[in-house]
Amino acid sequence: MATGDGTVGKALEVLDRVAGFGRPVRFSELLAGSPYPKATLYRLLQTLVHQRMLTYDADRAAYAPGIRLVRLAHNAWTHSTLAPIARQHLDALAAEIGETVHLAQLDHAQVLYVDKRSSAVPVEMISQTGKVGPAYCTGIGKAMLAFLPLDLLDWVLSQQSFHAFTAATITSERALRRELEQIRAEGHAFDREEHEPGIICIAAPILTPKGGLLGGLSVTSTTRRRDLDDLAPLAPRLKATAVRIAADAESWHFPDQTPKPLPGRTGT
Amino acid sequence: MATGDGTVGKALEVLDRVAGFGRPVRFSELLAGSPYPKATLYRLLQTLVHQRMLTYDADRAAYAPGIRLVRLAHNAWTHSTLAPIARQHLDALAAEIGETVHLAQLDHAQVLYVDKRSSAVPVEMISQTGKVGPAYCTGIGKAMLAFLPLDLLDWVLSQQSFHAFTAATITSERALRRELEQIRAEGHAFDREEHEPGIICIAAPILTPKGGLLGGLSVTSTTRRRDLDDLAPLAPRLKATAVRIAADAESWHFPDQTPKPLPGRTGT
DNA sequence: CTTGGTTGTTCCATTATTCGGAACTTGGTT
DNA sequence: AACCAAGTTCCGAATAATGGAACAACCAAG
């Protein structure tokens, strides 16, 4: 999975890797999984720390994501996600249905949750927002995949791991494509405990009038409270909300957030 | 204000600039305020877009922060800010006092708010978290500055704009240093409508047992509800909370987040 | 349809940066 | 004391970034 993009690409790859650990990480740990030689990795880390994209804790000799990222993300979240536009609609939907509502967008073949309304716990924040999850085995992921342009879909599917989280997880591209077809026909997707046992959801894509994919919307519940048949009747309300969000996005002239297939830069 | 750090530094500077606009921004706007020639800036932007750190909207021909940042920030916020550690303490303090509580850290001579508990308005969030504000004219900023090591303080103060937001704003380094001395003696700071008219606050630093600066904590109110004399009695509870947060941070072995003075890297 | 202006994109020889093997330092272990 | 692992620095070679200038694309006015 070549990154390209010269030094900057390499630096960001390292940044991702550090962030991915989810804990302070030592030089040697990074070196182990790195394609770069010691000296190069060292310099990249130095640069990132100097730029406050990473923090270096001298005592523990470990690197962690830096707070400059938090600051940048504030802008990104406010101006480049559906969250601010969708906020009121999420509030309304969550209040009406009384279940957890998620708003997500596709990022690099993964589901990126950009906002959430939880019925139970009142507020949370980046703690939830910013999380990523698999696309092939979540309702919201499948809902988005189903409405991706075909050429992009090919690429995105090629990036899926098809790891079997539960017994119900779809583990082959063929099976997933079949399911996506159905979702396309119905306009909404279900998560049948495919990602976590006991967790089910119904999800719909958020589409521009022209059919461009903006994001996804889902209502999540547990098998203890509801089953799929209870969820299905929510589809109309879910879709109505999605349409409203899309309309607002349109009037905000929101950019079509279709993910890029990482082309070889200067075409073939 | 030379950035150094080669290409990566330049790319990140451009990223900051785009984020700073707070709205989609066109190439020419960026070019205007950029030290780089057209072709160079163009390439940097290309790279950032390709890396999904920026989004490019072809219709509007404008750049905006990318969603990859949201994802990275999730990690940064979770693992490199005081927020997760302080959460319960903020909850408790906010509930007890019934006013808005802020948690902040220093980032590059500015105040970066990393969490917030608002008494009145229930929700908001990243919309608030991730925001930056001036250090020299906010209570929380001054509280942190007062406990900065002297050499760092010199640098940080040199970065302040001393813009007069209100009639009460401290507008000279000398006056600020005098105030910081007082804050150091008392252990807490006030914002006397120095940043926004009608807004006052009391703030305390969060310090390691050894005196290292971790962050700041503040209780904000309005002149309509309280005055400074009402705020002052809150100091003990504020400080107690700060101590508790510091203790938890210690046991989590939280890295000393003292900002770096951007040294010239390898000397001249 | 032509001209002129503005904005955005590409080329390519030059130049400055990054690369990475190897040597070195530091701190802990047998 | 000798050794080993982890982290840091050096420096010539290799590569990638630079930026001036030419080139498109678009629009408005002549």
Residues A105-132: tens digit of each pLDDT: 998 899 999 888 876 654 444 446 778 8
Name the DSSP letter for residue A242: H
CB contact under 8 Å between B79 and A59, yes or no, is: no
**Residue-wise pLDDT tens digits, B68-95:** 888 888 888 888 889 889 989 999 999 9
Count of CA atoms in the C-beta half-sphere (13 A) of A196:
10
Encoded amino acid at B54, one letter = L
Q: Is the CB of A36 under 7 A from strand D?
A: no
Looking at CATH, the fold of the domain delimited by B75-251 is given as: Beta-Lactamase (3.30.450)
B40 touches strand D (CB under 7 A): yes
A15-40 tens-digit pLDDT = 988 888 888 888 988 888 888 888 89
Query: B72 and A22 in contact by Cβ < 8 A?
Result: no
Closest CA to A137 of A181, A93, A101, A167: A167
Most A-contacting residue of B70, B105, B107 (CB-CB within 10 A), to test interface: B70
Q: How confident is the model at residue B126 (pLDDT cuts 50, 70, 90)?
A: very low
* B145-184 residues touching A, CB cutoff 8 A: none
HSE, side-chain direction, 13 A CA sphere, residue A45: 25
Which residue has tokens 């583990």? Answer: A171
Nearest-angstrom CA–CA distance, B227 and A149: 59
Q: Per-residue confidence at A102, pLDDT binned at 50, 70, 90? A: very high
Collapse the DSSP code of B16 into the 3-class scheme (helix H, G, I; strand E, B; otherwise coil) and give the result: helix
> In terms of DSSP bridges, do strands B62-65 and B54-57 run parallel, antiparallel, or are they unpaired?
antiparallel
Residues 29-68 of B with CB under 8 A from A: 44, 47-48, 50-53, 55-57, 59-60, 64-68
Distance A194 CA to C23 C1' (A): 54
- CA count, 13 A, side-chain hemisphere, B179: 26
* Nucleotide C22: closest residue by CA–C1': A39
Q: Is the CB of A32 under 7 A from strand D?
A: no
pLDDT at B261 over 50: no
List the beta strands (DSSP E) in A27-161: 54-57, 62-65, 100-107, 110-117, 132-133
* Chain B nearest-CA residue for A13: B51
* Contact residues on chain A for B1, CB-CB shorter than 8 A: none
What is the C-alpha end-to-end distance of chain B, expressed in Å? 15
* pLDDT at position B104: 95
For position A86, what pLDDT does the model report? 92
User: Is the minimum CB–CB distance between A22 and chain B shorter than 8 Å?
Assistant: yes
Residue in A closest to B109 by C-alpha: A68
Chain A CB contacts of B76 under 8 Å are 19, 65-67, 69-70, 73
The answer to whether the beta carbon of residue B38 comes closer than 7 angstroms to any atom of strand D is yes
What is the number of other CB atoms lying within 10 angstroms of the CB of residue B23?
10
- Amino acid identity of residue A13, one-letter, is E
* Cβ–Cβ < 8 Å for B108, B141: no
Each residue of A223-248: pLDDT tens digit? 988 999 999 999 999 999 999 999 99
Whether residue B264 has pLDDT greater than 50: no
> Contact B148/B181 with Cβ under 8 angstroms?
no
Nearest nucleotide (C1') to alpha carbon of A38:
C20
Higher-confidence residue of A74 and A178: namely A178
Q: Is the CB of A50 under 7 A from strand D?
A: no
In strand D, the nucleotides that come within 7 Å of a protein beta carbon are 5-10, 16-22
Helix (H) or strand (E) holding B63: strand B62-65
CB–CB of B7 and A5 under 8 A? no
Domain residues of chain A, as ranges? 6-66, 75-251
**Tell me: the pLDDT tens digits for A177-193?**
999 999 999 999 999 99
Task: List CB contacts (< 8 A) between A53 and chain B.
Answer: 12
- In whole angstroms, D17 C1' to B40 CA is 8
Contact A8 B9 (CB under 8 A): no
Query: Which one is predicted more confidently, B262 or A100?
Result: A100
Structure confidence at residue A123 (pLDDT):
43
The CATH classification number of B6-66 equals: 1.10.10.10
User: For residue A245, what pLDDT is reported?
Assistant: 96
Q: Do B53 and A12 touch (CB under 8 A)?
A: yes
Q: What is the pLDDT of residue A249?
A: 87
Residue of B51, B131, B260 lying closest to A8 (CB–CB): B51
95-114 in B: which are within 8 Å (CB) of A? 105, 107-108, 112, 114
Q: Does pLDDT of B254 surpass 70?
A: no
Of the given ranges (A211-220, B72-81, B191-200), which has the lowest mean pLDDT? B72-81
CA A40 to centroid of chain Cα atoms? 31
Q: CB distance A129–B74 less than 8 Å?
A: yes
What local confidence, expressed as pLDDT, does residue A21 receive?
Answer: 84
Question: What mean pLDDT value characterizes chain A?
Answer: 86
Chain B residues whose beta carbon lies within 8 Å of the beta carbon of residue A76: 19, 64-67, 69-70, 73
Nearest CA in chain B to A5: B47
Phi first, then psi: give them for residue A257, nearest 5 degrees.
-85, 25
Provide CB contacts within 8 A for B212, sequence distance 6+. B256, B258
Q: Which nucleotide is nearest to A29 (CA to C1')?
A: D6
| Cβ within 8 Å, pair A71-B7 | no
Chain B residues within an 8 Å CB radius of A64: 79-80, 255
Find the closest chain B residue to A6 by CA distance: B47
Name the nt closest to B42 by C-alpha to C1'.
Answer: C9
Q: Of A73-87, A245-259, B86-100, B167-181, which gets the smallest average pLDDT? A: A245-259
CA distance B88 to A20: 25
Going edge to edge, which strands form the sheet with A54-57? A25-26, A62-65, A54-57
Evaluate whether B223 touches B193 at the Cβ level (below 8 Å): yes
**Tell me, in Å, how far CA of A130 is from C1' of D9?**
38
